A = this chain, B = another copy of it.
Amino acid sequence: MGLRHPQTDQIRLEDVFTALSNPMRLKVVRTLAESGPTPCGSLLDGVPKSTLTHHWRVLREGGLIRQEALGREYTLTLRRADLDERFPGLLDAVLRAARVPAPG
């Protein structure tokens, strides 16, 4: 059975913000924006697998990423075009904001 991904017109803004409300998930979004599709094993070193699985699900169900099996591993891809279609300008603003240093 495939993993659930919302269709573009079914992406909910509150779910996008839920996906972005965690520093690790925000970091993954930034990395995918900069590096393109990435095997999920290369993201977030030293984080327990169950935690990773949770983060991929929240990102996926929020409509932020596609999670697809490639060989024995999942590859994560930012749904940039879908997000730009659904909420024009939002992802760019988020990525700019994510480059602002966090409070010390």
Contacts and interface: CB of A to CB of B under 8 A. Distances in A.
Interface of A: 9-18, 20-23, 26, 86-90, 92-94, 96-98, 100, 102-103
Count the copies: 2
The secondary structure that dominates the A interface is helix
Given A87-B97, A93-B93, A96-B88, A22 B12 contact: no
Given A21-B18, A26-B13, A87 B100 contact: yes
A43 to B, nearest CB: 17
9 contacts: A9-B103, A13-B97, A14-B21, A14-B23, A17-B17, A18-B21, A87-B93, A89-B96, A90-B96
